[in-house]
Amino acid sequence: MSPDQSQTAYAASAADLAVRVLDALRGTEDAALVARHVEEAADPKAALAAIRVVGADLFAPHLLADAVLLPEDAMAVVQSFTVFPPPVTVPPAPPAGPAEPWIAAWRDRATATLLARFSGGEALVPEPLGAPVAEEPDWQRWSVRMGQLSPLALPGLDGPVHTAARNAPLALARGACRAVLRRDFPTAMRITRWLALLAAEGARPPIDPAPLVEHLRLLGGGPRLALDAAIAGRLLAPARRGHA
């Protein structure tokens, strides 16, 4: 299989897994969704890669819908780290190093942290160094980078990236609106997840994320955007009740 074919297979498998997680969040997916995703896959390696792509959002049904993490699902996540091991050394934060490996390290850390929380034991990967810093006039690049880190926008996770989001809600709001105007709806939804998390924590973001989430959900954009919208909606549900 060529590299292009591999990437296509990985993307298709990640989309399928996102649908399974979305169904579990809605209460319509059977147990052991991650393990079944691997067992039923025509390409098990692509299915394991999909686990790493979806990342910490695999645990959204357990964090937001009281689903129980089954041992076979936990083992499938562990297997994904075995087949696709993260770098031995912690990548430096940009601008000291490239952004992509550093973002991947934070996403892996989030997955490993929630796996440890639900199944016991220590996180499989160390915490990366640093967090994105929102500085004028670079809020555009910062907000996009925060969107790339959107799987960290879940309850049960906290750290430097979350502190960065709390310290720059206006930059997040500007980034989300800019992405909508550019019709980059997946990026807009990913950034909006951070605004939804801030609202869930009791903050009042510069823009109300609830109508933005609904607008982006209706526009559509594939399983990944649908999952992001569902997670943001779950985050916002208690926030709306609290402000009623």
Q: Are residues 2 and 68 in the same domain?
A: yes
Asked if residue 98 belongs to a domain, the reply is no
Mean pLDDT of 168-195: 96
Q: Are residues 115 and 138 in the same domain?
A: no
pTM score of the predicted model: 0.92
pLDDT surpasses 70 at 244: no
Q: Are residues 82 and 170 in the same domain?
A: no
Range of the domain at 122: 1-89+104-128
89-103, 105-119, 121-135, 180-194: the lowest-pLDDT one: 121-135
DSSP string, the chain: --HHHHHHHHHHHHHHHHHHHHHHHHT-SPS-HHHHHHHT-SSHHHHHHHHHHHGGGGGHHHHHS-PPPPHHHHHHHHHHHHHSPPPSSPPPPTTSS-HHHHHHHHHHHHHHHHHHHHH-S--SSPPPS------TTTHHHHHHHHHHTGGG-STT--SHHHHHHHH-HHHHHHHHHHHHHTT-HHHHHHHHHHHHHHHHTT---SS-HHHHHHHHHHH---HHHHHHHHHHHHHHHHHHHHH-
69-83, 94-108, 119-133: the lowest-pLDDT one: 119-133
Q: Are residues 118 and 162 in the same domain?
A: no
Q: Are residues 11 and 120 in the same domain?
A: yes
Asked if residue 95 belongs to a domain, the reply is no
Q: Are residues 170 and 122 in the same domain?
A: no
Number of structural domains found in the chain = 2
Asked if residue 142 belongs to a domain, the reply is yes
Q: Are residues 157 and 240 in the same domain?
A: yes
pLDDT tens-digit readout, 16-45? 999 999 999 988 766 679 999 999 999 999
